[in-house]
Structure formats: structure tokens, C-alpha cells
């Protein structure tokens, strides 16, 4: 049977829409033993690139300092015919200036919890002091959308 890979690949616009709609970015970095370190993160797209913030002393940040290679996965679907996903392969760019970290934090908060109140902005600002931003410079995208198969395998 010939490959149906091209049938299920998302277009660039479909990938962007999918990434904007979904909530969880599974991030894999290379741990100190060489094993993948995988964690789920809230994220936003900034100029089309996935971005998130995390504690500056987190394992993923230590891993990225040692080796900036990373892969991220966003997926959805409860049954085979509904599976959709995007794998993003690239490098993690650590964002360490205060203004940019705060910007990422506000964007993430807005995506998941709506426009932040003054109290929420104050909390985000306090959290930003302990955090680092990460933007993924995507080198390769792999996508799949089984809904394009129309229920046929």
C-alpha cells in the first residue's frame, strides 16, 4: 500500500491555526545523562515561533544551556481517526532580558486566563524575576491530520 503521508500533512496555515488553538506544548530537551527530558508547557506564538517561560533553574533550562537542541510536540485527538499533531524540531533560544520575559509571561497568561487584572500583572511581574523565556527556532516541522482521511485508513 502506498504511503498516505502527503494526504495527512497539514499546510503551513493549518499548522499555525492548530498551534494557536491548542493548549499544551510537550517540550523535550537533552538531559545530563543523554536521556530526553520531556515536560508539558503552556505556550504562545510570538512572530510565528513557539514561546514559553519557565523557572530559570529548571532542568529544561540547564539542558538548553548545555545543548540548545530541542523538540516540541502539540497533539490532539481521542481516537485514531481524530489524531492531529505537529512536531517542531529546532533549537531553544533562552530569553533573559527582563522586558522580554515579562512580555512572554503576560502573553501566556492572556492566552490561558484572559486579559490580566492589575493584581495578576503584579503577580506576573514578580514571577518574571525568577523566570527565563524560551523561544523555539524551528528548523523542521512534521505534521499529521488524520481527519483528512475521512475515516478511511
What's phi and psi for 72, nearest 5 deg? -130, 150
What confidence score (pLDDT) does residue 3 get? 63
Distance CA 93, CA 102 (A): 16
What is the CB-side half-sphere exposure of residue 58 using CA atoms within 13 A? 21
The SS3 assignment for 4 reads coil
The CATH number, out of the four listed (3.40.50.2000, 2.30.110.10, 1.10.10.10, 3.10.105.10), of the domain defined by the range 5-148? 2.30.110.10
Show me where the domains of the chain are located: 5-148
Residues of the chain with pLDDT > 70: what percent? 95
pLDDT tens for each residue of 102-146: 999 999 999 999 999 999 999 999 999 999 999 999 999 999 999
Amino acid at each position: 500500500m502506498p504511503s498516505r503521508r502527503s494526504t495527512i500533512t497539514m499546510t503551513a496555515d493549518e499548522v499555525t491555526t492548530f498551534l494557536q488553538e491548542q493548549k499544551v506544548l510537550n517540550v523535550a530537551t537533552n538531559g545530563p545523562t543523554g536521556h530526553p527530558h520531556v515536560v508539558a508547557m503552556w505556550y504562545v506564538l510570538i512572530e510565528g515561533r513557539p514561546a514559553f517561560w519557565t523557572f530559570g533553574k529548571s532542568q529544561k533550562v540547564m539542558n538548553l544551556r548545555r545543548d540548545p537542541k530541542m523538540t516540541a510536540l502539540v497533539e490532539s485527538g481521542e481516537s485514531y481517526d481524530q489524531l492531529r499533531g505537529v512536531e517542531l524540531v529546532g533549537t531553544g533560544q533562552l530569553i533573559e532580558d527582563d522586558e522580554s520575559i515579562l512580555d512572554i509571561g503576560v502573553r501566556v497568561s492572556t492566552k490561558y486566563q484572559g486579559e490580566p487584572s492589575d493584581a495578576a500583572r503584579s503577580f506576573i511581574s514578580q514571577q518574571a524575576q525568577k523566570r527565563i523565556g524560551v523561544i523555539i527556532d524551528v528548523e523542521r516541522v512534521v505534521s499529521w491530520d488524520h481527519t483528512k482521511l475521512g475515516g478511511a485508513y
